[in-house]
Structure 1
Amino acid sequence: MQRITVHIVLMAATALALGGCGFADSRSPLPEFMRVKESDPPPLEPPPDVKELVRNHLDSVFMAASAPRNVEVSPARHDLRGLGWTACVKAELTSANGKPLGVQTYRISINEGLIFDRRHVEEEDTCLSESYEPI
């Protein structure tokens, strides 16, 4: 009986030791050749044509009731927090009751050729120093 218990303990210890080899990630203290290699980051998509994208999807940036005029866009910049792109868009807008709002600026996020987010620009944003071109 004792012999069977010793064999079970030895097999369990061996299984535990060998099972730990599967967890040798890139930050483990094991030698380099025993670690799991880190995967390469996915490639960046080419910069989008912001002028055409905004021209074709103006309703993704501005509400139709705001009647955007003199729309201008900045060049696309790589988004530092992801794989997409960001750009700035500004236009003269009108409020829902017809009063002019003046020039409003938005930062848009572009991923896989689509505008998926827009945010009103704040004072510390870099959109204020960008160069713009009319669409």
Structure 2
Amino acid sequence: MLELYRGQLDVDKIFSRWRAWGEDKNFGAFITFVGTVRAENGIEALSFDVYEPILRTWFDEWQEKAKQRGAVLKMAHSIGNVPVHTSSYMAAVFSPKRRVALELIDEFVEDFKAHAPIWKYDVKNGERIYARDRSQKLPQSGLLDRF
């Protein structure tokens, strides 16, 4: 249940669709996280490159962890430019009980920041500038390690 989109996410549309899905499955907890591009350092947008095969593998491993706890994960992420004050990332956990969902969303979002094969660029004056100071090297990334 990984979704990739060109440009900014339509948070309201995705949230409504996910909420309806969770209600249909009779989950008692639906916890979301939405990442919004902040206006800072003179950027007009962030831009994202995604290595989809590894991202899907990483997500599938998390989906299995969630399943073992009786939960389901959903995630949406942007590819390309995302203007300030719009969303590039959404994650959700569905679970019969709130405690599992609360714990899992925290673990998932933190691991996403550390290990998902997504590279971030600042966009200033229409130019993409690799955000090296805010990036983390992926473990065993080899050729995927940028700069």
TM-score, with structure 2 as normaliser: 0.27
TM-score, with structure 1 as normaliser: 0.29
Q: RCO (CA 8 Å, sep 6+): is it higher in 1 or 2?
A: 2
Please identify which structure carries the higher helix content: 2
Please identify which structure carries the higher strand content: 2
